[in-house]
């Protein structure tokens, strides 16, 4: 039987003897807890050497010596880890720690160890530690099950004494519900109110408790949706009523997601705001289609632009002539309706009509498809292939790299306008076609 205890190591000294793979796992956890770590080992892994070179740990480049735990000039320790590949050395470290009444974790022999390191994890503001009679594999499995339950809401984390307050702006990722961040999933599981867009991973809402209020902001292009002022008002109103509000958005909230406006509205109303970045479709959609937005010798720069207003419109702040001259990759969001005007502007200012274009529709979803064209044929490709939002447009020579790599075909290849190819998804794409 063990007595479980959470050690607060912030500002306290810990000794790790050994510099191999076990030490490499233990040291970062100690650093995250705030401990001051001293490492004793003649050789260490590259990761531990980097921590020493950066000054984050103190490394004594030698083997363990008698007296290292018992005030041999290294300091006074609260916790010791014996993690060498020598049972004799580990036994000596443990014996000295026992004599000094310092808890020692012995990595090689759980039965001889005075303390066991639990399998730890965190979710929903909860730290989980599992000790399974010193069996690390079983403890890790149980830990993972509990953490997953906290993260997905199947274990209710909303009943604690200290509840989350205010508003969390959560980026839900490009579409696939598995691509929301761990932090985003944790906060969603604790929400009292969720204000959600149509491009957010809406399937995640099904796992929420029945008493969570869902506010549908829609955001349907040219269709029914809440105004931004109404969204801002809903966030502030529910937060002021003492509810924890999650604003679940597609992609990243601060990349053409108007997250800055929502954060500002909350701040002006005195409502605390947490921002959780998301995987933006500007990068995920090209990756899902096998297109590296940068590639050695092809493109060293990427320009992400909004196409919600066309080139030449007084409301546009995009320098299209500069983009044409730059020659790098251009990723255009919200641009399907404006692709002909965008292509014309780029060609007018120097981009070749043969410049490759990829239109990635419903990226990372089972219905994802990629239509390939050129600047000269992009508008016709949109019409003939009936490309519709949400679609991310990639312009540049990197589009051809995807064909050379030949790693993420999305079903059958068809001939597109001007000889361009169209990769069209048929049912669920093969597992290799998904970003997981």
Catalytic residues: 197, 219
Angle among Cα 261, 170, 408 to the nearest 5 degrees reads 115
Cα–Cα distance, 90 to 108 (Å, whole number): 8
Cα–Cα distance, 92 to 337 (Å, whole number): 73
**Which helix (H) or strand (E) element contains residue 358?**
strand 356-361
189 and 276 Cβ atoms separated by less than 8 Å: no
DSSP string, 228-273: HHHHHHHHHHHHHTT--EEEEESB-TTSSS-HHHHHHHHHHTT--E
| Cβ atoms < 10 Å from Cβ of 19 | 23
Provide CB contacts within 8 A for 136, sequence distance 6+: 119
Q: What is the DSSP letter of 96?
A: H
Quote the tokens at residue 121. Answer: 């994890």
Cα Dmax for the chain: 81
Q: Are strands 356-361 and 369-374 parallel, antiparallel or unpaired?
A: antiparallel
Distance set, CA 16 to CA 20, 37, 128, 131, 138 (Å): 11, 7, 23, 21, 24
| Cβ atoms < 10 Å from Cβ of 229 | 10
Cα–Cα distance, 107 to 90 (Å, whole number): 8
């Amino acid at each position: 039987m063990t007595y479980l205890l959470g050690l607060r190591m912030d500002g306290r000294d810990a000794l790790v003897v050994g510099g191999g793979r076990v030490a490499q796992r233990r040291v970062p956890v100690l650093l995250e807890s705030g401990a001051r770590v001293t490492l004793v080992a003649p050789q260490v892994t590259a990761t531990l050497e980097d921590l020493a070179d950066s000054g984050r740990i103190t490394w004594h480049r030698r083997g363990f010596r008698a007296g290292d735990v018992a005030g041999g000039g290294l300091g006074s320790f609260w916790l010791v880890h014996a993690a060498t590949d020598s049972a004799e050395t580990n036994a000596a470290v443990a014996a000295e720690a026992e004599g000094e009444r310092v808890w020692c974790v012995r990595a090689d022999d759980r039965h001889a160890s005075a303390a066991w390191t639990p399998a730890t994890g965190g979710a929903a503001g909860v730290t989980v530690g599992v000790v399974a009679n010193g069996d690390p594999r079983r403890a890790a499995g149980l830990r993972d099950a509990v953490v997953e339950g906290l993260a997905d809401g199947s274990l209710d984390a909303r009943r604690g004494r200290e509840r989350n307050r205010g508003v969390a702006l959560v980026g839900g990722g490009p579409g696939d519900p598995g691509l929301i961040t761990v932090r985003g999933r944790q906060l969603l599981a604790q929400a009292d109110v969720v204000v959600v867009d149509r491009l957010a991973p809406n399937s995640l809402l099904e796992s929420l408790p029945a008493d969570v209020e869902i506010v549908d902001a829609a955001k349907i292009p040219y269709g029914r949706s809440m105004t931004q002022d109404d969204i801002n008002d809903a966030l502030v109103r529910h937060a002021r009523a003492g509810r924890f509000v999650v604003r679940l958005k597609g992609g990243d909230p601060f990349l053409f997601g108007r997250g800055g406006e929502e954060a500002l509205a909350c701040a002006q109303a005195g409502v605390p705001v947490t921002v959780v970045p998301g995987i933006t479709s500007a990068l995920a959609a090209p990756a899902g289609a096998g297109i590296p937005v940068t590639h050695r010798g092809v493109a060293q720069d990427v320009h992400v632009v909004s196409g919600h207003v066309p080139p030449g419109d007084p409301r546009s702040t995009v320098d299209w002539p500069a983009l044409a001259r730059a020659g790098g990759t251009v990723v255009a969001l919200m641009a399907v309706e404006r692709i002909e005007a965008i292509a014309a502007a780029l060609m007018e200012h120097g981009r070749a009509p043969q410049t490759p274009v990829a239109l990635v529709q419903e990226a990372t979803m089972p219905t994802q498809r990629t239509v390939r064209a050129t600047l000269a044929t992009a508008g016709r490709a949109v019409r003939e292939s009936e490309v519709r939002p949400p679609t991310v447009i990639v312009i540049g020579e990197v589009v051809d790299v995807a064909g050379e790599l030949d790693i993420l075909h999305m079903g059958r290849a068809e001939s597109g306008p001007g000889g361009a190819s169209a990769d069209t998804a048929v049912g669920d794409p093969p597992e290799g076609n998904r970003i997981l």
